[in-house]
């Protein structure tokens, strides 16, 4: 199944996609958009272009498992995204993905503006890889 992954952010949102066999997750782009409805439209276009069959959206939780304002914003955005795309939107715990993305970028010595431009799409890849592993082990 082709799955689109979204790492939602108030300013920058990372997008990634996997192949039909759910083996390889690849970054697609980082979208700079603050309006949820416009962002959902842009993601809807990408989903159609990539022939996505579902979307996984990173759900930011605190390290103790509680949810704050960011998680509430993601839940609101997930409803808008479902409406705009007509696709199933699964929420998936994204704790630690941005930290892991920064570690990967440290390993590749990606710095400055380039780092800022790709960190969110790398986080979307990590969310998607984690979700694909979850599907392999639980579905």
Q: Residue 49: which of 6, 118, 117, 2 has the closest Cα?
A: 2
Residue 137: which residues within 8 A CB-CB, separation 6 or more? none
pLDDT value at residue 24: 94
- Band the pLDDT of 115: cuts 50, 70, 90: low
Cα–Cα distance between 60 and 50 in angstroms, integer? 25
Residue 13: which residues within 8 A CB-CB, separation 6 or more? 6, 7, 30, 31, 33, 39, 43, 120
Full-model pTM: 0.85
Q: What is the mean pLDDT of the chain?
A: 87
Beta pairing class for 3-7 and 12-18: antiparallel
Question: 41-97, pLDDT tens digit by residue?
Answer: 999 999 999 999 999 999 988 777 777 788 899 999 999 999 999 999 999 988 766
């Amino acid at each position: 199944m082709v799955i689109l992954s979204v790492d939602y952010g108030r300013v920058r949102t990372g997008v990634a996609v996997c192949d039909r066999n759910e083996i390889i997750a690849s970054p697609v782009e980082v979208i700079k958009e603050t309006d949820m409805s416009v962002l959902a439209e842009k993601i809807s276009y990408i989903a159609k272009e990539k022939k996505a069959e579902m979307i996984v959206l990173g759900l930011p939780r605190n390290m103790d498992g509680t949810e704050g304002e960011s998680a509430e914003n993601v839940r609101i955005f997930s409803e808008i995204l479902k409406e705009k795309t007509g696709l199933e939107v699964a929420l998936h715990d994204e704790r630690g993905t941005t930290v892991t993305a920064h570690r990967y970028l440290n390993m590749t010595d990606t710095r400055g503006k380039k780092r800022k431009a790709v960190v969110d799409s790398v986080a979307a890849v990590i969310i998607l890889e984690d979700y694909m592993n979850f599907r392999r082990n639980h579905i």
